Structure 1
Amino acid sequence: MKINRRTKIYFLLGLVVGLNSTLFYAQYPYSNSGQKGDDFKLIGESSPGLITYTSKGIKLVDGQHQFVGIYLDQLSFTTEKGFILEFEFGLDQGRLEGNKYGDGISVVLFDANEMHPQTGDKGGALGYAHTQRKNGNHTAGFSKGMFGLGLDLYGSYKRTMNYNDEVRNGVGNARENDGNFVVLRGPHNPNNLYEGYPVLFAVNTVQNLNYYLNIDNGKFISTQSGVVGKRFSIRSGREVANPGEEGYRKIRVAFIPGFDEASRKQGFFISVNIVNGSYDSSIVRNFFVPKTGIIKYGEQLANETFPDRRLNIAMPASMKLGFTGGTGAASIRAHIRNIVLVLPFSPVVQDISIPNVIRTRPFVCEPLYSAFGYDTNVFKLFDPPSPSTVFLDFASFRFKILDEATKTYVVNSDPHQLVVPNVGTYSYNVNNGEVTFSPVPNFQGDSHTFYYDIKNKKPAEGVDISTEEYRSTTASVTLSFTDDIPLYRNPPLIVNKGVKKIRED
């Protein structure tokens, strides 16, 4: 589907944009541009210096037979209220084996009590899953791993493997030669380091191939729908692309707490969507995982048996976030950037660009036209909360500025008026959400950007989602100036600044 900011589905698939960050425990929102390695800790890499941090983000892999693992060691986030995670990725270059690149990358969520995490196996295990071997030592999966969401280019992360040097559970009837899957593997087995990590779902982004684990009986079903929207290849062929451009990719993963009527259990509804170019494509919608309970699945063993297993799941109170990747004979170059973590039902704000602003005249804009808030965080599958601008607390609007020395956003001394030397003054109206720009005399600039964030109104009842932890991410508004009076004025164009994002403390 073409991106539509006003639909309910747009939130339920995990939409969040913008920038904010903090490294304190359980504080939201959080963001990291990936341009510096200060907050990341290395778990392992196949060769020294493979992982780099630049203006393009974090480079994970770039050649054959590589593996990597990193995590944010100072970031522990609570799971009680759920969370929404997003990051941009660029996959290009690489070597084909047959007609496929490989293997892929994975975002890993693991128990925050694990102080010294180790990655899973390399190659098709994408650094998250385990591997047994018919001859030689087995390899354990990611330490206390809970979820590993893989961008599986080659297809080995999703499927059952039964070779002398690679034995692993997966989707037994998945077509062997198919790649381009978004795959979620589940928890580790605390009683056996060489089992567990079952495939919960595997959805193809190019073809109509979809596999979902029925956690009650351990069988895979393909009757549920897969991609809704424009189909696409996970590998975009672009190292860096701006939103709306061909080759732009951003993934969003939403864990929304709620009650499942079918199983009569509390848990999390998991949704995944990927922005590809100017399209927002739904990959998975509301796949339910209980907070505590049993996951049934089939385990592939090295002795070629395939027994049924009952895996206990217990969602930890807090988790940490990591990234892994692996390549084999088929390879890829992979960058990730602009990692964002927010609470569900925080206000949604978007970066916008406004063209054809007359540089010599005052100009009034409405940055909140592209934003909306919520009045509850109670999620019901068939009656979700409705987003609306009327739920925004206009008085909580704050101008923010970029501190060039620290490369962070800070709140302006006057939250409702921003004076920019040699540019002009921005004044915010708390009654209607309008911002008036008044240029300095003889202003000659081509463009200027201001930043803001905002909160929800306090609901009349229920959980207070107007607190600071529910504050929105930081959005940008860019005015592009002209001397000419246009015959018509284009509507504001929604954009996202891509790798120019910066962290916020």
Structure 2
Amino acid sequence: MALSFFGRRVLLCCMTLIVYLSVNAQFPYVETFKNNTAAGVILQGNKPAYLTSGIIDPPGEGCLRLTSNDNYQSGVAFCSVSFPSNNGLVVEFEYFMHDGEWVGDGICFFLYDATVATPDFHPGAFGGSLGYAQLTDIPGVPKGYIGIGFDAYGNFSKGFQGRIGGTTVGERDTNAVTVRGPGIGALDRSTNLTDYPWIATQKTTDLTPRFLIIDSTPGRATEPTSVGYRKARIEMQPVVDGSDIVTGYLLTVKITVGGAVPTEYTILKNIAYNYAPPPTLKFGFTGSTGGATNIQEIRNLYMDVYSPLDAPTAVADNYSTCTGVSKYFDPLSNDFTPNGGGQAPYPAGVNLNKASIDLDVTTPGIQQTKSIPGKGVFTTDASGLVNFTPDAAFISGTVTNDYFVNDIYGETSTAGTITVTVNNLPAELLTVNSPQTNCEPATIDITSNPAVWYTTGNNGTVTYYEDALATRPITSPQSIGQSGTYYIQLTSNISGCSVIKPVDVTITSAAAPPTATAGFNCGPGKVSLTASGAASGEDYKWYDASSGGNTVQVNGSSYLTPDISSSTNYWVTKYNVKTGGCESARVPVMANINANPIAPANAGRDQLGLTDISTLSLNGSTPASGETGLWSFVKGPNLPTIVSPENYNATVQSIVPGNYVFRWTIQRGTCTSTDDVVIDVKTTSRVLPIVLKDFSVQLQNQTAKLSWTTTQENNSKGFEIQRSTNGTDFSTISFVPGTNSQQLHSYHYNDDITNISSAYVAYRLKQVDQDNQYTYSPVVRVALIAQAFDIQVSPNPFTDRLMLTANMSEAGQIELRIFDGMGRLVKQQSFTVSKGSNNLSIQLSSEIASGVYYAEIWKSGKRIKQVKLLKQ
């Protein structure tokens, strides 16, 4: 009995003897060609074949390379020892044809007369002759008996270039196995014009299923599970006459194609080769290239005398199921094949092609479905399991079906019979609730609270399995921590009939914790808290406790607390909306209530009517413990110097006549309280040239209408009309001459304010007399937009930080812009403000030099406030 190479691999690897020494070679004969020597094998060719071990491959991992990727080669490896021809032959070898150009040409296994002495041997022609047959002026193998070509390019089958016979001249027979007969191989070919006749050709691409004789994947495909793997098997069954003399052979050629399940295909079957062999033969391999090239190699050669394969045995199977219950079973578990080597009894379930189960023995081909009328349907797939689903009307009884299966060597089994007995269902029907989910790191207990997972009656036993065949019990069904499909089985205590159903378990990863940002408020009220870090498909939940408690908001990256009177902790999580809502750990976030100063700031009484002084005193309220105070200059005719502005009783130097405003700010944390004091400094009293009765402004459309009345004018030059958009900085926009009237006299002036974007505009009169002395009128102003805010900027003077206190009637965006004395922008920052009180801190760069700056607040594209600042 012939053994396949894979069937004998373990046995032969254990044999240390590689048999090659004797006049007639002993079988089986094994040569891996993986090492750098091959006893009894001679290498020749116009570019000789060679063993790659230690040259291009690591030692012990090589192969026999017949041709390289060069043109017009004919490389050969032939054996110097002989064997008798009367026993037939089985040959197996792996071959590789790869990394060439135009895929040329192929590999040929050949036998020749053993009487040819080694010195007289030479390979056949290159190219389409595959190193076995002739070309017009090149002879074939001396006394060749048979050449079996694995022809990628497709000319070995063609009767031109001096070859005898073949398929129709025309298109090449690519991807083909071609057989050519004997030839003398004489140098003078005119003596024999019948050498190496064509016998048969079969293209692998004409088979069903079709496949390529080589795979286009670069490099060698050495593993049977690789799609590019190829292994050839040649069977030569002797044909004898009445005197038991061999008159020829029945030739069969098979190729195994790699894949997840390696499959052997029959290319030629029982081809009559009617040429009597010589008494003894030798063998060899050739490879050839022509205008097209390939690297062509072989490995793992196995040879034995011919012995036909035997049919595998499919043993009868008996199974049971319940009414209406689909059941899987494994009919191959007791089947066996004798073709894997060894002695009977052969191992069950081994060397069988699980994908080859044929459920309909009366229909050609492999049928994976068989319907039995009135009984049910049998199905199978590549797993080797068979499923039977009874018809709804088939309450109980027996159903049978025959099947075939192939072994991995391609032999079909005897018919096996599957018998399935259908029993009545248990009275306790099983209903499974699926799917079920939980979140890491928790596990799922499918045995607890059965109403969650399944419902059943009381007269049955429930068990839990990892597979549908109920062969792998779940080790810990109370703590399943891995997602997957599991099975719950109910077995009736009365009938013993079982029902098994799947349940899908999903353990979902929890989201990563978010980043939380605390909120602040000065005094009791609502506090805005924020969270970040959510990816696409994630959201937030807000809680009032570190565990349990109440969900105060189910989504959104911000949360506005209810009114609180003291600092309070909240917690936020992040969860994945798409995967069952598994939440992260809760992250604490503080809603801070900062206490206001103990008492409101008090800058002291206004000081009016001071005359001819250069230094003045400021007297503010004393800060309480934990509070700080700071004096700042608000406005005035010049920029004075505040000495020790952090003291409540500071002094101010460099005073000139005019109207000053100073601000006293008390701060605790981010909360502030401010108060302004007005100080008016005049020159020595003198008779004013003008007595101003009134001064007013009214807004009409885009025009500010100014009106003023004098009761007396003496030595008056006139009135400079000055305008300010921030209440501090005034510029002259026009001049109206005086009348020097001693009676009531009214003046009017219209100012076009179309292009003014501030929240208000302020005006004052500079009353100038003939000797250019002057006095200022009171300031009047008119609002340009509704006042929906109160924004204070402190401290002033400042060092490296400013604080904005913004009381807003609605939420929105404001922007701070800071300019130096030259009008250059040195800082710009936007803020999102909520309705109510907002305390905003601005960190300023240490690169901002000391001096005068102007801070502007913008909202909705309009400047709504301007403050003059001093950087210390």
**Relative to structure 1, is the Cα distance of residues 81 and 94 closer, same or farther in structure 2, using a 3 angstrom cutoff?**
same
TM superposition shift of 1:43: 4.7
- Once the two structures are TM-superposed, the CA of residue 326 in structure 1 deviates from its matched residue by 0.9
**Paired amino acid for 2:263:** Y
**Conserved? CA contact 1:130–1:195, under 8 Å:** no
Q: Quick one: distance in 1 between partners of 2:106 and 2:68?
A: 11
Q: TM-score by structure 2 length?
A: 0.32
Q: Residue in 1 aligned with 2:98?
A: 92
Aligned partners of 1:16 and 1:346: how far apart in 2? 15
Per the alignment, residue 202 of structure 1 pairs with: 201
What does 1:401-480 correspond to in 2, within 5 Å? none
Q: Does 1:233 align with 2:212?
A: yes
Larger Rg: 2
Contact map agreement 1:16 1:84 (CA 8 A) in 2: no
Structure 1 spans left out of the alignment, 5+ residues: 1-10, 133-137, 208-226, 291-312, 349-366, 374-387, 396-485, 491-505
1:38 maps to what in 2?
38
Verify the 8 A CA contact 1:52 1:60 in the aligned structure 2: no
Alignment check: 8 A CA contact 1:205 1:283 kept = yes
Determine the structure 2 residue equivalent to 1:273. 254
The answer on whether the counterparts of 2:33 and 2:51 sit within 8 Å (CA) in structure 1 is: no
| Aligned: 1:81 with 2:65 | no
Amino acid of the residue matched to residue 269 of structure 1? L
Give distance in 2, aligned partners of 1:176 and 1:199: 17
Equivalent pair of 1:39/1:73 in contact (CA under 8 Å): no
User: Larger strand proportion, structure 1 or 2?
Assistant: 2
Shift of 1:241: 2.6
Matching of residue 286 in structure 1 with residue 270 in structure 2: yes
Task: Give the drift of 1:344.
Answer: 2.5
Aligned position for 1:69: 76
Q: Residue by residue, what CA displacement relative to the aligned partner does 1:299-324 show, whole Å, maximum 9, x if unpaired?
A: xxxxxxxxxxxxxx431122111111
Please state whether the residue corresponding to 2:145 is helix, strand or coil.
strand
Query: Secondary structure of 1:124's match?
Result: helix
Q: Tell me, yes or no, if the aligned pair for 1:94 and 1:333 is still in contact at 8 Å.
A: yes
Structure 2: runs of 5 or more not aligned: 13-17, 311-332, 347-464, 470-872
Paired residue for 1:147?
146
Cα distance per residue 1:160-209 (max 9 Å; x no partner): 11xxxx322231514423411111111114784664101111111113xx
Aligned to 1:319: 281
- Corresponding residue to 2:338 among 365, 368, 372: 372
Question: Alignment partner for residue 297 of structure 2, among 335, 345, 362?
Answer: 335
Match of 1:113, SS state, is: coil
Name the amino acid aligned to 2:46.
Answer: S
- CA apart distance, 1:90: 1.4
| Per-residue deviation, 1:45 | 2.7
AA aligned to 1:158 is S
Query: What's 1:223 paired with?
Result: none
Kept in 1, the 8 Å contact 2:177–2:201? The answer is yes
Return the alpha-carbon distance in structure 2 between the equivalents of residues 198 and 28 of structure 1: 30
Which residues in structure 2 correspond to 1:156-167 (within 5 Å)? 156-161=155-160, 166-167=161-162
Counterpart residue identity of residue 64, structure 1: D
Write the letter of the residue equivalent to 2:27.
Y
Identity of aligned residues (%): 27
**Equivalence map 1:22-61=2 (5 Å):** 22-23=19-20, 24=22, 25-36=24-35, 37-47=37-47, 52-53=52-53, 55-61=61-67
Partner Cα separation in structure 2 for residue 281 and residue 372 of structure 1: 19
Distance 1:251 1:168 in 2: 25
Question: Given residue 251 of structure 1, which amino acid in structure 2 is its aligned partner?
Answer: A
Amino acid paired to 1:152: D
Task: Quote the offset at 1:141 in angstroms.
Answer: 0.8
What amino acid sits opposite 1:250 in the alignment? Answer: K
Please tell me whether the aligned partners of residues 260 and 267 of structure 1 are also in contact (alpha carbons under 8 angstroms): no
**What CA distance in whole angstroms lies between the structure 2 residues aligned with 1:342 and 1:22?**
11
8 A contact 1:87–1:336 mirrored in 2: yes
Residues in 1 aligned to 2:129 and 2:75: alpha-carbon distance in whole angstroms = 12
Aligned-partner Cα distance in 2 for 1:260–1:314? 11
* Residues 90 and 240, structure 1, Cα contact 8 Å, conserved in 2: yes
> Aligned-pair distance for 1:62?
2.2
* 8 Å contact kept, 2:86–2:246: no
Aligned to 1:179: 174
Q: CA separation in 2, counterparts of 1:334 and 1:189?
A: 26
Contact 1:131–1:139, Cα closer than 8 Å, also in 2: yes
Contact 2:76 2:131 in 1 (8 A): yes
Verify the 8 A CA contact 2:48 2:66 in the aligned structure 1: no
Report the counterpart of residue 704 of structure 2 in structure 1. Answer: none
SS in 2 for 1:206: helix
TM alignment of 1:382-393, pairs within 5 A: 392=343
With over 3 angstroms needed to count, the CA separation of the structure-2 counterparts of 1:48 and 1:286, relative to structure 1, is closer
In the alignment, the residues of structure 2 paired with residue 193 and residue 119 of structure 1 have an alpha-carbon distance, to the nearest angstrom, of 18
Partner residue in 1 for 2:788: none
2:105 pairs, out of 103, 106, 112, with 103
Alpha-carbon spacing, 1:49–1:181, altered in 2? closer, same or farther (3 Å): closer
What residue identity is the alignment partner of 1:200? I
Residue identity opposite 1:284 in structure 2? L
Q: Is the 8 A contact 1:255 1:270 kept in 2?
A: yes
Q: Contact 1:41/1:70 (CA < 8 Å) preserved in 2? A: yes
| 1:225-245 deviation digits (Å, cap 9, x = unpaired) | xx4x53211121341331132
How far apart are the structure 1 equivalents of 2:25 and 2:75?
27
What is the distance in 2 between the residues matched to 1:265 and 1:33?
Answer: 30
Contact map agreement 2:31 2:38 (CA 8 A) in 1: no
Aligned length in residues: 301
Partner Cα distance (2:48, 2:222) in 1: 28
User: Runs ≥4 in structure 1, deviation > 4 angstroms?
Assistant: 48-51, 367-371, 486-490
Is the CA contact (8 Å cut-off) linking 1:62 and 1:332 kept in structure 2? yes
Corresponding residue of 1:254: 235
Question: Aligned partners of 1:88 and 1:188: how far apart in 2?
Answer: 27
Where relative contact order (Cα < 8 A, 6+ residues apart) is larger, the structure is 1
Distance in 2 separating the partners of 1:488 and 1:259:
55
The CA deviation at 1:394 is 6.2
Amino acid at match of 1:32: E
Report the secondary structure of 2:128's partner residue: helix
Q: Tell me if structure 2 keeps the 8 A contact 1:32–1:339.
A: yes
Using the TM superposition, give the Cα deviation of residue 153 of structure 1 relative to its aligned residue in structure 2, in angstroms: 1.2
Matched AA of 1:110:
Y
CA deviations 1:249-274 (Å, max 9, x no partner) are: 0000001124599xx99531110110
Distance 1:176 1:248 in 2: 27
Q: Deviations over 1:59-87 (max 9, x none)?
A: 2212121220111223x222212110010
2:127 — aligned with what? 123
Q: Is the 8 A contact 2:204 2:211 kept in 1?
A: yes
What is the Cα-based RMSD across aligned positions, in Å?
Answer: 3.7
Cα deviation 1:332-363 (Å, max 9, x = unaligned): 11121010011233889xxxxxxxxxxxxxxx
Give the match's secondary structure for 1:168: coil
Question: Aligned partners of 1:487 and 1:78: how far apart in 2?
Answer: 57
User: Which one-letter code corresponds to 1:288 in the other structure?
Assistant: A
CA separation in 1, counterparts of 2:140 and 2:200?
18
Q: Cα–Cα, structure 1 residues 115 and 488, in superposed 2: closer, same or farther, change >3 Å? A: farther
